[in-house]
Chain A
């Protein structure tokens, strides 16, 4: 579909929206009845076929069934939280919804104000507001008093922006620190794809590398962490090395196996079409295996994060793993929860991006 058409369709959809909404509202009672009766039918079906092997559950009941365990989990958490707070209202282990929300706000929305010191080592006090909300309040007052003409001017010259300039949100700082480590280690992991490619394609390279990589693959990376810290110091190098040692051998070996899976007919065919040796490797073998290898990298993203957190937990100045293990000392569950949710969400989003990129870029895979 060409973009102009797409735009037209979107416009038409929006213009039709009010009438559609009204229609839906009018039909709402009947829709509800239909849905409920549908659920009832599918429920009966489920009872009848629960122990059957080859059945297809209905759409509505499938959704409900997949939600059950989540709901049970939330309910259990809620009950525990209420019980513990009845005993001790200051309980931190199982924070209530309000405590969690405050934790989210503290880590995500509030900036980590950098303190400045004077010559004597005493903190310089400034009269800037302490939270973003206060700053916004000041701005609104200023608009009401007529200091700024409109909201745009207030944003440009006001105290809200001044407040944000003082520092960054804790979560953002930590994400950036961890993200840098992941990005650098990803470069090495992608280099691993080429090592695997050469290993699979050239028998002599295979003889040199295969046993060695296999050996490295079997070393539990966490166990060598102390060695890495001694060798590379407590800086970034050791953390990146941990991720690379933990994940790269898997990627290399997987690429190697994928290269071995390429049918010999394809290579012979390439030779009869006049392909040189490097052309066979880079124009026949590589394009066949790359989407599968990217899938492996995607699945190994979990171990990347695992090793990242393990490395940061021991020694770091910032980072998601570091923060989680620091606030653990104060049993600050209200901070740990947002971090766990955030890193899971990040991993999920990266995974989704990889997946959609692969399926879009390599359409020949969709057999």
Chain B
């Protein structure tokens, strides 16, 4: 716990609501994420996990409440927050290396530079070489250096996601958002990627917000687990709330055998029952909000 004392909050959400055409998706979400944390968010289908991520990203504005980063309001997606989607993270028309270099190029070259570069490549040779070296460094980190010259469609699903992670990480974002990045992968690749992302987190201390619909994955990977659910007492159609916010006890990196221990299964069963079961509805006072950064939901006056 002492570790947290000198660390800042990166992302802060205060009493945010999100509604589309009068239908409430997110109901009074408050959340603070510290630097260096690996937060996983899990929830049933349609609970608004991705909506919350888009609010953090800035591609959607909350209809009520505040979403802030470094004490500034989040207005639009920018280079301080990286993202890895389930699909379409990579640009199909560039090789893997160019994809990873793309962020650096956008940062250093203006549009005019980009066209001049095609006519007079020798002016930019030095800079491009530097970018290339950095991109190769990141590609080596994700184990894709030998595939650097391939196009994304020539890679397998897992390799593509690794390239997407490298592409986002090269910008050194303050927080890396992942929207079900492993959702489309087969079981074996998925487990390998889970371990890979954990190791990467251990090496770089990159703050990560990881969204998944797989409870096992969520518990296995993160240091902090948030369960978002629309199933609570008087919930009806009033949108999702954070029903659990707990610290995951095991130190990282975790061996996969941990998934078969009793403690792991107990946590999983507990969350499955209290958070994801539509027939079991908890009262707002029974929510399992234990994490030290959590902001407790308040029962509103007169409710």
Contact = CB atoms under 8 A, between A and B. Distances in A.
Interface of A: 263-266, 268-276, 278-279, 282-284, 287-288, 362-364, 367
Given A266-B91, A282-B111, A287-B93, A275 B106 contact: yes
B82 A274 contact: no
Q: Which of A266, A276, A278, A288 has the most B CB atoms < 10 Å from its CB?
A: A266
A287 B81 CA distance: 25
Given A263-B87, A271-B77, A367-B153, 20 more contacts: A265-B85, A266-B88, A266-B91, A268-B57, A268-B77, A269-B88, A271-B59, A272-B78, A272-B81, A273-B102, A273-B103, A273-B167, A282-B111, A283-B106, A284-B91, A287-B93, A288-B93, A364-B92, A364-B93, A364-B152
A330 to B, nearest CB: 53
B87 to A, nearest CB: 7
Contacts of A283: 106, 111, 114
Nearest to A362: B93
A272 B88 contact: no
Contacts, number: 71
Contacts of A270: 106
Nearest to B58: A271
Contact of A273 (B79, B93, B152): B79
A276 B114 CA distance: 13
B114 A272 contact: no
Interface residues of B, number: 30
B140 to A, nearest CB: 20
Nearest to B84: A269
A272 B111 contact: no
Interface in B125-153: 151-153
Nearest to B112: A278
Contacts of A265: 85, 87-89
B151 A272 contact: no
Contacts of B85: 265, 269
Contact of A272 (B82, B87, B91, B93): B82
Interface string B176-219: 00000000000000000000000000000000000000000000
B248 interface: no
A268 B111 contact: no
13 contacts: A265-B87, A265-B89, A268-B57, A268-B83, A269-B89, A271-B77, A273-B103, A273-B171, A274-B78, A274-B103, A276-B106, A279-B106, A364-B92
Nearest to A263: B88
- 9 tightest A-B CB contacts, nearest first: A274-B79, A273-B103, A271-B77, A265-B88, A263-B88, A364-B151, A287-B93, A265-B85, A275-B106
A217 B290 CA distance: 63
A363 B92 CA distance: 10
Contact of B153 (A263, A268, A364): A364
B93 A269 contact: no
B111 A269 contact: no
B252 to A, nearest CB: 25
A268 B93 contact: no
A191 B202 CA distance: 51
Q: Which of A274, A278, A279 has the most B CB atoms < 10 Å from its CB?
A: A274
Nearest to A288: B93
A273 B57 CA distance: 12
Nearest to B87: A265
A274 B108 CA distance: 10
A192 to B, nearest CB: 21
Contacts of A271: 59, 76-78
B168 interface: yes
Q: Which of A265, A271, A273, A282 has the most B CB atoms < 10 Å from its CB?
A: A273
Contacts of B91: 266, 269, 284, 287-288
Contacts of A272: 57, 77-79, 81-83, 168, 171, 173
A61 B181 CA distance: 50
Contacts of A284: 91
A158 B171 CA distance: 72
Contacts of B152: 364
B240 to A, nearest CB: 22
A268 B87 CA distance: 13
Contacts of B153: 364, 367
A265 B76 CA distance: 14
B2 interface: no
Nearest to B54: A268
Contact of A274 (B57, B59, B106, B167): B106
B286 interface: no
Nearest to A266: B88
Interface in B89-125: 89, 91-94, 102-103, 106-107, 111, 114
Contacts of B82: 272
A269 B83 contact: yes
